[in-house]
Every structure is written in C-alpha cells, then in structure tokens.
Chains A and B, each alone.
Chain A
Amino acid sequence: SQTIHQWPATLVQPVGSPLSLECTVEGTSNPNLYWYRQAAGRGLQLLFYSVGIGQISSEVPQNLSASRPQDRQFILSSKKLLLSDSGFYLCAWRPGGAEAFFGQGTRLTVV
C-alpha cells in the first residue's frame, strides 16, 4: 500500500535560518506531489506542486522554494526564514485522480 512520510513533526527555527522539509512517498511511482501551508485556524494554501522529477510549479511567490530530486521525494526549502513562515506545512500526493493523501504535517515556529 502507499504511504507518505513527512518529517520532522515539529520544528522551531530562528529568523534568518535555513529550512529543509522532506516528504517521501512509498508504494507508487510518478505521483503528483504538493506542498501546502496552513496558518493557525486558516485554510490550506497551495505553495508548490510537481508532476514529475525536476518539474515544479509555484502558486505563490514567496520566501520558499521546492525541489523534486527523485520521483518520490519532494523537498521544501528556504534560505532565510521569516516570522511569517510559521505555520503547519503539509505534503500531499495524488495518483492523478480525485483523492489526495496527506502526510502528518510539520508544525514550524519561527522565533
């Protein structure tokens, strides 16, 4: 069966520090991969999505970037975190159909 792994679960980082969040999917090939951010009590904001290795689409220009170095690996990065980058980051994959499967999320606090 397919599973999605996202880590770490929680992270506290100082302003100006770099960020790297990793997401991997098992049990499938060529999944569509997504990064979302959710501020406290708010909706899910789509940050990036990818339909294949090296193919990244950005929905919101900002302080973050994404990469897909391998078929089932999706990485979210920042060179210098801002306070406004705090939030709940969710990775998801979709096999091309209707349903998206989410990882358990990373709660990032920038201090």
Chain B
Amino acid sequence: GQSLEQPSEVTAVEGAIVQINCTYQTSGFYGLSWYQQHDGGAPTFLSYNALDGLEETGRFSSFLSRSDSYGYLLLQELQMKDSASYFCAVSNQAGTALIFGKGTTLSVSS
C-alpha cells in the first residue's frame, strides 16, 4: 500500500518562510507532487519532483530525497493569501493511482 505523513497544521506570519514536510511509503515511486487548496475550492497543482533535489517556482520550492522517502514544500515571503491547505501526493507509476496525504493547514497572520 501507499501512505503519506505530513503535519496537520502550521502557523506563520507574513513575510516568513515555512517548510511543510512529507514522508511517504509506497510500493513503487514515480514522483512527489504538491497541491494547494483554499477553503471550498478545488486543489491546484504547485510543484512536482521526480528526481532528488530542489525545484523552484517563484516563491514556492519543493525538495525530494528518494533515498529517505521524504520531501518538503518551502514557501517564502508568505502572504495572507497563502493561507490554505497543502497536500503532498505520490503515484507509483505514471497514469495510475495518485494518492494524497491528509493535508497541512497553513495559517498566515499579519
């Protein structure tokens, strides 16, 4: 089976940097992706790592260590609009099941 662990809640202030960790167990591994979901909305794709290392997309970066079955999402220069739930997700093979973690609720205060 597949399982993912991530913290349930994280709080931070505007302008800060926050890191959301994700550890996973999977029978095979194709890649780790991250999604953002605002209250009442649909999840939207943020970032993807198939290989070890850091991927940077604007204020957001994602890191993967396949040997440690671990990744994280790094959010810099936090803004109030970044308050949302963040999910890591893994698939064990292209085109098959995409399994999500339980999500991390990020609250950004001024």
Contact = CB atoms under 8 A, between A and B. Distances in A.
Interface of A: 32, 34, 36, 42-46, 49, 51, 57, 59, 90, 92, 94, 96-105
11 contacts: A32-B95, A43-B87, A43-B101, A51-B95, A57-B97, A90-B43, A98-B31, A98-B45, A98-B48, A100-B89, A104-B41
B6 to A, nearest CB: 9
B100 A44 contact: yes
A37 B16 CA distance: 33
Interface centre among A43, A49, A102, A104 (most CB of B within 10 A): A43
A98 B100 contact: no
Range class of the B interface residue count: 20 to 34
Contacts of A43: 87, 100-103
B98 A46 contact: yes
Interface in B17-36: 31, 33, 35
Interface of B: 31, 33, 35, 41-45, 48, 50, 87, 89, 94-103
Chain A residues touching B, majority SS:
strand
Q: Which 5 residue pairs spanning A and B have beta carbons closest together? A: A98-B48, A43-B102, A102-B42, A44-B100, A99-B45
A46 B85 CA distance: 17
B97 A98 contact: no
B97 A104 contact: no
B42 A51 contact: no
